[in-house]
Amino acid sequence: MTPTTPSPKGPFRAWLAVAAASIVAIAALAGCSTTRDTEDFDVTLVNLSSDNGGGGGIGEAELAFTIRLQNATPQAIVLVGGAHKIYLNGIYLGQGLSNERVEVPRLGTTTANLSVHLSTFKLARALYGVYRSQKADYRIVSTVYGEHRAFRTRKEGTIDLHGLNLPPPPPGSPPAL
């Protein structure tokens, strides 16, 4: 019999929910700080949840990402898959993969759901850096595959958290990572 890793419960699950909400807030607040590798297609993170009941344990968490796919061309685009990587304060947290067929209407948008497996250790390190520095640098890099071409998008920016009046780090705590 193979030992199994217990799924997150109690305080860890509450911490994971706060971490997920923090990532969504960071991505949502910085929508105006955008760079794109393509002018006619865009991918944005619109929601993140830890309620997908997925596996993981102390070292890994499965989160459900909802992304918005935006098509600024006069033709519908049929997608056959994609890869979406998320970084927080320069730390790669994880990647969501999809092999679902999705049609994005001409001059329109649609949403898609992804399961993303994140390292909880990397997430904790990144969130600690956000707490210490009172700012969050984020980056979402996506490659989506259409029937006839691939689209690469990248969103990045910085959120200044000083206005949120977070409590200061305790005296003598280590510097931001």
141-155 confidence digits (pLDDT tens):
999 998 888 989 998
65-81 confidence digits (pLDDT tens):
888 999 999 999 999 99
Distance, CA of 98 to CA of 114 (rounded, Å): 7
Fold held by 32-161: Immunoglobulin-like (2.60.40)
pTM of the model: 0.67
Half-sphere exposure of 4 (CA within 13 A, CB side): 6
Q: Which two tokens stand for residue 175?
A: 């510097």
Positive or negative CA dihedral for 83, 88, 92, 96?
negative
Report residue 34's pLDDT band, with 50, 70 and 90 as the boundaries: very low
